[in-house]
Amino acid sequence: MQLHCIDTGTVDADDPTRPLVVLHGLFGSADNWRSHIKQWQQTRRVVALDLRNHGRSPHVPGMRYAQMAEDVAESLDALEIAQFDLLGHSMGGKVAITLARQRPRAVASLIVADIAPVPYEHGHDEIFAAMRRVVEGRPESRREADALMAESVDVAATRQFLATNLVRDDEGILRWRVGLDEIADGYADIIAAPDGEGAYPGPALLLRGGNSPYVRDAYREAVAAVMPEATWETLEGAGHWLHAEQPEAFQQALSRFFAII
């Protein structure tokens, strides 16, 4: 299945750099990366994809990482991109790991942002409840939608992030752009470990937020088994959405990585 994407195109006909492919996290979209894309596109082609059931991509059953990685591969094949640097955040990081295992020659380097190749516990009950309240409440304004979500989610920043997925239908009702039912049905696969076997042999960077619980030191052995060449870097003052909370430090970390590979 081909995915919707933001594609900046080549910088010029003689551009020697590889494209950077960007994969967002759960309930995110390519749009979340526009400020970073604006900087990266000055020196290289950037392709940010909406994963299945997210953004403007199709809603289909199944959220296994092998399925999502195949979507990405098919989309890049359609764009005639044979080799690329690959960046994935959270759920997108697990998709990136799966794709790197499937196509190690195509993935020139791998950057995984604040996720480890391990299974996680169920942790989004409040978010699903908040989103269901919006479906049932049929809000006509973002203020109404926020009030509905606030009954389940206390953190305003989380509600604001979820609200980036709201669109207005023909009746003037705000609805979710994401495939909420498909994501909920596939949630057990989302919190599972990435699909595939073996290790990705290429250069890799594991970025984690200093305030995030997602990538613990206890996962070093699991990371080494999947990305043996990975270097770890911690962005202090950042949580799980490290690229949004510490954008300059995030950019600098990637620049340092690309300079040495």
Active-site amino acid positions? 90, 181, 240
Helix locations, 151-230, DSSP H? 156-163, 180-185, 187-190, 220-226
Helix locations, 44-179, DSSP H? 65-78, 91-102, 125-137, 142-150, 156-163
- Which tokens is 28 given? 């995110």
DSSP letter at 238 equals -
Q: Tokens 């990585």 belong to which residue?
A: 257
| First-to-final CA distance of the chain | 31
Q: Are 49 and 3 in contact (CB under 8 A)?
A: yes
* Angle, alpha carbons 102-204-15 (nearest 5°): 85
According to DSSP, the residues that pair with 176 across neighbouring strands are: 166
Sign of the dihedral defined by the CA atoms of residues 12, 13, 16, 22, in that order:
positive
